[in-house]
Amino acid sequence: MAEDTAARIEAGACSLGIEYGSTRIKAVLVDESNEPVAIGTFDWENRLEGGYWTYGEDEIFQGLAACYASLKADVASRYGVTLTKLASMGVSAMMHGYLPFDGDGRLLVPFRTWRNTTTSKAAAALTDLFGFHIPERWSIAHLYEAILDDEPHVSRVRSFTTLAGFAHARLTGEHVLSVGDASGMFPIDSAIKGYDAAMIAEFDALPRVAALGMHVEDLLPRVAVAGEVAGYLTAEGAALLDAAGDLQPGCPLCPPEGDAGTGMIATNSVAQRTGNVSAGTSVFSMVVLDHPLKDATVSEIDLVTTPVGDAVAMVHCNNCTSDINDWVELLDGYNHLMGFECDKGELFGKLFESALAADKDAGGIMSSPFISGEPIMGVNVGHPLLLRREHADFSIANLMRMNIMAAFGTLKVGNDILRKEDVRIDKLYGHGGIFKTPRVAQSILAAAMDAPVTVLATAGEGGAWGQAVAASYMIHKSDGQTLADYLTNEVFVGMEGETIAPDPADVAGYEAFIKLFRQVNEVERAAEKAVAED
């Protein structure tokens, strides 16, 4: 089997997906059956500089090369061959944010990530103008806020894009985005699979925009849908990816995608009335709609699209696992202090498993796990808090259950609103590292959403695998075969997974928990005013 895979790799028959996550860049190489055959990773972390969450431009591409080098080393270790050719590839990344460029392609300000909540004035103004909710993290909100704030660089902006679009442009020379990622930059008209023309005209007519002579459609990336070829790997792109010079240029790239789109692909949830929850540093749910929402201005719900342009209701929360990770690091530090040797993965697993024996409402312990701002909860600056009721049962089990429940707390607040819009979900899938410990986070999410949750065998591979599948679909689809059909009939057929239905006791416990979660949020908002940083 390994010999066959080695031959396929040497023949250039495999497809590659690379995704920039919040804390890790990951690469997954798949064979023609979309089975992962090698993996590469590079860990990184955003930082707060000049009032903005960012990653350095050099780090973006050094991390890309390091991730590819890790993948290449994995190929050599497993199969004894050198990776030199690819059948296809694709890049995906965290959605939204702001990367503006001048006419020579120079980045004008450091990358402003989705995590920034500095565009409230612009987002509110555009929501009123369009009659359509524009979240603070969307690229158009960042651009308009920069205009309103008279930032010097705006007169020199000749294009802007997302992180996936930036990396793709360096690899191919093409200024293009998947319709899914583009829908987090500017509203999309699903009927035409492109930017909403009426809203484009409204934006251009804004006095401050018109004074600059700016035509926003000229600045935005070209929109492509899944299955289209969005460019080819150039010699410069191959050298950027593989510093050793072994990778040959010329392979086609699929449209650069956002992590929401790759999450939908990775969970086979691109058809109507299917949904998925992607959980990492941030957490979001995506539900493919079968009818328009009654109110397109609801601030807790974003209207984006699938990788083929169908309308999706997205509930995006800036915070999920970061506070859990901090607690585990604290407990791991205790182990080191006491001279205990414990594998970090085993520690995560044991702590998560303890949550199953906890009180259903976490015993009166509560946190606001906001490392950064959380717009749905009205929080602009995060101050992670832990609150215990006077007679709370402060045990390890309750602490861990509370942390996992709190990680999904804002998501539940948003989806409770979506439920009032009569949005129905036939299938809901979970993916991301939080689901690696079997049943724990999955059962708690089922209680939060009051819906069955399925975790597939590929859940741990995440968006990088999803983008590899998108690249594979581009070159292997049959005539007229839709993405949904390809996923159902070619990728997920026979795939193992486990579905957990919501337990009524868990649901009742979560309802009690979420009541306290909302109350503690008032303490969080007060802390923002009382504990301001210099």
The arithmetic mean of pLDDT across residues 257-269, rounded, is 91
The arithmetic mean of pLDDT across residues 296-314, rounded, is 90
DSSP state at residue 379: B
The arithmetic mean of pLDDT across residues 432-440, rounded, is 90
Helix runs in 356-420, H state only: 396-407, 409-420
pLDDT for 309-321, tens place per residue? 999 999 989 999 9
- pLDDT higher than threshold 80 for residue 34: yes
Residue 339 covered by a domain:
yes
113 pLDDT band (50/70/90 cuts)? Answer: very high
What percent of the chain shows pLDDT beyond 90? 83
Q: How many CB atoms neighbour CB 2 within 10 A?
A: 10
330: containing domain: 322-407+504-530
The arithmetic mean of pLDDT across residues 235-242, rounded, is 98
Report the Cα–Cα distance between both ends of the chain, in Å, rounded. Answer: 60
490 pLDDT band (50/70/90 cuts)? Answer: very high
C-alpha–C-alpha distance, residues 282 and 532, integer Å: 23
The arithmetic mean of pLDDT across residues 375-398, rounded, is 93
Q: Which amino acid is at 435?
A: F
Sign of the C-alpha dihedral computed for residues 111, 298, 445 and 394 taken in this order: positive
- pLDDT higher than threshold 90 for residue 473: yes
- pLDDT higher than threshold 90 for residue 240: yes
What's the pLDDT score for residue 371? 92
User: With contact defined as beta carbons under 8 Å apart, do 108 and 101 qualify?
Assistant: yes
User: With contact defined as beta carbons under 8 Å apart, do 275 and 427 qualify?
Assistant: yes
115 pLDDT band (50/70/90 cuts)? Answer: confident
Residue 380 covered by a domain:
yes
- pLDDT higher than threshold 80 for residue 458: no
pLDDT for 132-144, tens place per residue? 999 999 999 999 9
What's the pLDDT score for residue 460? 57
DSSP state at residue 376: G
Nearest to 132 by CA among 276, 140, 309: 140
* Residue of higher predicted confidence among 381 and 148: 148
Q: How many CB atoms neighbour CB 244 within 10 A?
A: 11
Cα angle 420, 421, 423; round to 5: 105
What's the pLDDT score for residue 261? 92
Q: How many CB atoms neighbour CB 468 within 10 A?
A: 32
Residue 341 covered by a domain:
yes
- pLDDT higher than threshold 70 for residue 151: yes
459 pLDDT band (50/70/90 cuts)? Answer: low
- pLDDT higher than threshold 70 for residue 52: yes
- Which range among 237-241, 494-498, 523-527 shows the weakest confidence by mean pLDDT? 494-498
- pLDDT higher than threshold 80 for residue 3: yes
- pLDDT higher than threshold 70 for residue 449: yes
C-alpha–C-alpha distance, residues 268 and 414, integer Å: 23
Residue 327 covered by a domain:
yes
Residue 475 covered by a domain:
no
C-alpha–C-alpha distance, residues 172 and 174, integer Å: 5
3-state secondary structure of 159: strand
pLDDT for 164-196, tens place per residue? 999 999 999 999 999 999 999 999 999 999 999
HSE-up (13 A, CA, CB side) for residue 75: 28
Structure tokens at 318: 């800036």
**Residues sharing a CB contact under 8 Å with residue 419, sequence separation 6 or more, in sequence order:** none
pLDDT for 340-381, tens place per residue? 988 999 999 999 999 999 999 999 999 999 998 898 999 988
417 pLDDT band (50/70/90 cuts)? Answer: confident
**514: Cα separation from own chain's centroid:** 24
C-alpha–C-alpha distance, residues 119 and 145, integer Å: 6
What's the pLDDT score for residue 420? 84
- pLDDT higher than threshold 70 for residue 202: yes
- Strands ordered across the beta sheet of 283-288: 302-305, 311-317, 283-288, 274-279, 427-431, 453-456, 497-500
User: With contact defined as beta carbons under 8 Å apart, do 435 and 455 qualify?
Assistant: yes
Residue 466 covered by a domain:
no
263 pLDDT band (50/70/90 cuts)? Answer: confident
Task: State the Rg of the chain over Cα.
Answer: 23
Q: How many domains does the chain have?
A: 1
Evaluate if pTM is beyond 0.75. Answer: yes
